[in-house]
Structure formats: structure tokens, C-alpha cells
């Protein structure tokens, strides 16, 4: 039997890693494939947007920056989820978690990384990005702070106004450096 509370404590890891807790090694791929078949079929009608998700992507784009999604989801699972909620990013990096996310963020030169797991916060911090936590998942604000979040927002809906202030401060700092 799969303990959902235990799954919640690992939220955000790759499916292949999660199934290793519940199935024998020779059943990992079968379990992951079965999950993905059902996920792709069900995602269009059972996926709902987080409050503020569209506005957050729009805020980044309106600032002239690229809105990028970095996720542990498998490529086959990501697009049905994004399509179901009408979200479009400039680029999507899939099937990366923890240090793999940090490598992607570092390669991109990310300045800010928003996430909802301790592993996300550690990845952002490791990549040199400002780690912004949003407790939308299984983790509390204090969990995100302990993992390296510099900022923890109440919800993703708070991101656009926070980001506008962050950008204003950054522009002022850069202006002061030029003088």
C-alpha cells in the first residue's frame, strides 16, 4: 500500500525515484509507465492552475525577461499539464531534480528561482539564484527557509508585486553602481 503522507514528504522528486520506494526494482519502469499513461489521460480534466501562476509568468515576461519552468516531471507529463491550465513558458526544462535543477539554473544564469520544495530552494541557492519559496505543496514556510529560501511568499499570487519591487531595487542598485 502506498502511504500518501510519505509521498507528500518527497513531493517534487522524479517519478522514477518515487516508485523505487513502493515497487521492486524490476517493477519500477512498469509502475512509472502506468502512472504516466493515466496522468496524460487525466491531466486535461484534473489539472487546475495555482492562483497567481499565469500572472507570475506574465510579470516576468512583461519585465522583458524569459519565464522558464524547470521541473522534475517527465517531458510526456509536462505539456498536458500546462495545456490544461493555459500556461505558456518561454522554455521548459523537464526531468531534473535537486542538483540537476541547480545545473540548469546555473547554465541559464537564473537570477530568481521560485519553487515549493526544499530541494528547489537548495537548487536555486546552489545555482546562485535568489531562492523564492512558495508553500503551495507539502512544505511549510519554515521548511523552505531552512533549505535556503531567501524570500517566502504567502502564495504564488504574491509573486508579481514582489517581483516588481525586486526589479525596481535591482535597477536602482545597478544605477548606483554606474555612478
**What's the CATH code of the domain at 94?**
3.40.50.1000
Mean of the per-residue pLDDT values of the chain: 93
Query: Considering the entire predicted model, what is its pTM?
Result: 0.88
Structural domain count of the chain: 1
Q: Kindly tell me if the per-residue pLDDT of 110 is higher than 90.
A: yes
Structural domain including 137 reads 53-178
Buried b (16+ CB within 10 A) or exposed e, 117-141: bbbbbbbbbbbebbbbbbbbbebee
Residue 45 placed within a domain? no
**Calpha distance 75→173 (Å, rounded):** 38
Instruction: Please check whether residue 152 lies inside any domain of the structure.
Output: yes
- Alpha helices, H only, the chain: 4-8, 15-19, 28-46, 53-62, 75-85, 99-108, 118-126, 141-146, 159-178
Residue 151, H or E segment: strand 151-152
Over residues 63-82, the mean pLDDT reads 94
Residue 127 maps to a domain? yes
Q: Is residue 35 part of a domain?
A: no
Amino acid at each position: 500500500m502506498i502511504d500518501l503522507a510519505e509521498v507528500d514528504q518527497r513531493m517534487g522528486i522524479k517519478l522514477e525515484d518515487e516508485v523505487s520506494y513502493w515497487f521492486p526494482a524490476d517493477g519500477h519502469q512498469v509502475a512509472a509507465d502506468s502512472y504516466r499513461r493515466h496522468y496524460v489521460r487525466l491531466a486535461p480534466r484534473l489539472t487546475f492552475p495555482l492562483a497567481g501562476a499565469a500572472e507570475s509568468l506574465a510579470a516576468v515576461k512583461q519585465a522583458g525577461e524569459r519565464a522558464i519552468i524547470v521541473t522534475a516531471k517527465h517531458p510526456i507529463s509536462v505539456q498536458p499539464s500546462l495545456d490544461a491550465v493555459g500556461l505558456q513558458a518561454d522554455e521548459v526544462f523537464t526531468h531534473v531534480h535537486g542538483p540537476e535543477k541547480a545545473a540548469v539554473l546555473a547554465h541559464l544564469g537564473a537570477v530568481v528561482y521560485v519553487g515549493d520544495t526544499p530541494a528547489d530552494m537548495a537548487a536555486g541557492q546552489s545555482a546562485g539564484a535568489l531562492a523564492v519559496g512558495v508553500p503551495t505543496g507539502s512544505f511549510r514556510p519554515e521548511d523552505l527557509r531552512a533549505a535556503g529560501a531567501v524570500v517566502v511568499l504567502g502564495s504564488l499570487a504574491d509573486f508579481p508585486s514582489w517581483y516588481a519591487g525586486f526589479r525596481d531595487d535591482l535597477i536602482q542598485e545597478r544605477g548606483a553602481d554606474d555612478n
